[in-house]
Amino acid sequence: MPTSAINSGDTAWVLISAALVMLMTPGLAFFYGGLVRDKNVLGTIMHSFVVISIVSILWVVVGYSLAFGPDHWGLIGGFDWTFLRHVGQTPNPDYSSTIPHEAFMAFQMMFAIITPALITGAFAERAKFSTFLLFMAAWSLLVYAPIAHWVWAPGGWLRTLGTLDFAGGTVVHINAGIAALVAAIMYGRRREFGKEALEPHDVSMMILGVALLWFGWFGFNAGSALAANGVAVNALVVTHVAAATGAFTWLVLGWWQTKKASVVGAGAGAVAGLVAITPASGFVDVGPAIAIGIGAGTFCYFAVQARHLLHLDDTLDVVGVHGVGGVWGALATGIFASAAVNVAGANGLIHGNPGQLGAQAAAVGVTLAYSLVGTFVILKVIDLLFGLRVSEEEEEMGLDLSQHGERAYVYQGLSVQGLSVVQMADVTVPRPRGGSNDGRGGPVPAMGAGRMLGTEASDKPDL
């Protein structure tokens, strides 16, 4: 394909979209970081930040080749494009005839980065950093890359089946959501879960993260058109509408239940709406986008309530927002998709094609099953060899100090984490109204109550 086929407008839009999607992972870091306690802020932010480094390296070495390289049996891409061989400045017509192949690779790299980063919210505040790195590397190659190939690569068997996933409902959100469920169970509950208030330390930071995610999501969805065209415009519009609808739906439901208009709830609802519209954004118009946003705000809200009842310590509700939102979005694509919006798509159930809903349901089931089993095997092997979580003493100290030797906040020379070394016997503070992550009431010990113990050697070798 000659370089003259490159369209400068399309190329510029895809490059800008790649930058927007890259920004989403630092946005996720702020979103997650604001929701944890102050002694774990840096550790939580670092989880997202370091994934940018790990996955970027793996992606150019072998990940892109496995996910998008020439097909083998409909299952995987092989090693033809390792170290980006044959991935250059000329277009690859299998993906786009108007942008350089390397631009498509870079755009997809940003999706590969944020997907494993999403999972980290399920085990925040208790993960050993060394083995966390192993988990992220193995998962990106053994779970993300195959599913991306099945759904998006020419010859991938779910794509051949007719699955529609414009920007990552199955590949990103369902995949990360079910992995988060497995991880939350296998990492186990935090020490204080169900015993103390586990309040977000900075909701303003969380909302900043939501704003960055919302902004970046325009590149995530509209950029997936791979061209500066009408489909991209439609994807941008419906993305915004679904996010706004999801935010307001969650806000109203929470307001009705608690009599308070929750800032955290509005932010979570916006993310739920963004998640759910992702697979449908290139195939539906504004009316269905509103319905998808309402469904996302409703289903994800009640999924989070169910998580409380089940006492599942999914720290930052990855399962309820990304898992449930992703499933709803993938199925909603099969219901509302219209070939009039995108001739490269298909009609869904309400436009006379019930088979599309079946294809979507099959993709949902396959993604759930493969990611569940793959995540379990990876975590089980790592746990047996090295252990997944920090010691109780390190967890009490906080990940910022125990894993990174640094402090997020310092007040007059004393960090918030450092207050834990002070014995504060028989001091309690009233629990804030509105409850905690586990929904329990009653007084809780003041910050830093108890004694910070020294660390003990793990019974498994560290890395």
123 membership: H or E segment, kind and range: none
Coil vs helix vs strand at 5: helix
The set of residues, in sequence order, having a beta carbon less than 8 Å from that of 19 and lying 6+ positions away, is 219
Q: Is 460 contained in some domain?
A: no
Q: Is 39 contained in some domain?
A: yes
Q: What is the CATH number of the domain that holds 13?
A: 1.10.3430.10
Coil vs helix vs strand at 429: strand
Q: Is 424 contained in some domain?
A: no
Q: Is 412 contained in some domain?
A: no
- Given this model, what pLDDT does residue 196 score? 84
Give the whole-angstrom CA distance, residue 363 versus residue 399.
Answer: 37
Instruction: Give one word for 353, left, alpha or beta, with left for phi > 0 and alpha for psi -120 to 50.
Output: beta
- Given this model, what pLDDT does residue 308 score? 85
Burial class (CB in 10 A: 0-12, 13-18, 19+), 386: middle
CA atoms within 13 A on the CB side of 432: 8
Q: How far is CA 307 from CA 80, 311, 356, 439, in A?
A: 43, 6, 31, 11
Q: Is 444 contained in some domain?
A: no
Amino acid letter at 128?
K
Q: Where are the alpha helices (DSSP H) in 120-262?
A: 129-139, 145-152, 157-161, 175-187, 203-222, 230-258
> What's the number of domains the chain is made of?
1
Residue holding tokens 């986008």? 289
Q: Is 127 contained in some domain?
A: yes
pLDDT tens-place values along the chain, 463 residues long: 445 589 999 999 999 999 999 999 999 999 999 999 999 999 999 999 999 999 999 999 999 999 999 999 999 999 999 999 999 999 999 999 999 999 999 999 999 999 999 999 999 999 999 999 999 999 999 999 999 999 999 999 999 999 999 999 999 999 999 999 999 999 999 999 988 888 999 999 999 999 999 999 999 999 999 999 999 999 999 999 999 999 999 999 999 999 999 999 999 999 999 999 999 999 999 999 999 999 999 999 999 999 989 999 999 999 999 999 999 999 999 999 999 999 999 999 999 999 999 999 999 999 999 999 999 999 999 999 999 999 999 999 999 999 999 999 987 555 554 444 443 334 343 333 333 333 333 333 322 222 222 223 334 444 5
Domain, as residue range, for 36: 3-385
Q: Is 12 contained in some domain?
A: yes
Q: Do residues 376 and 185 touch, judged by C-beta distance below 8 A? A: no
Q: Is 441 contained in some domain?
A: no
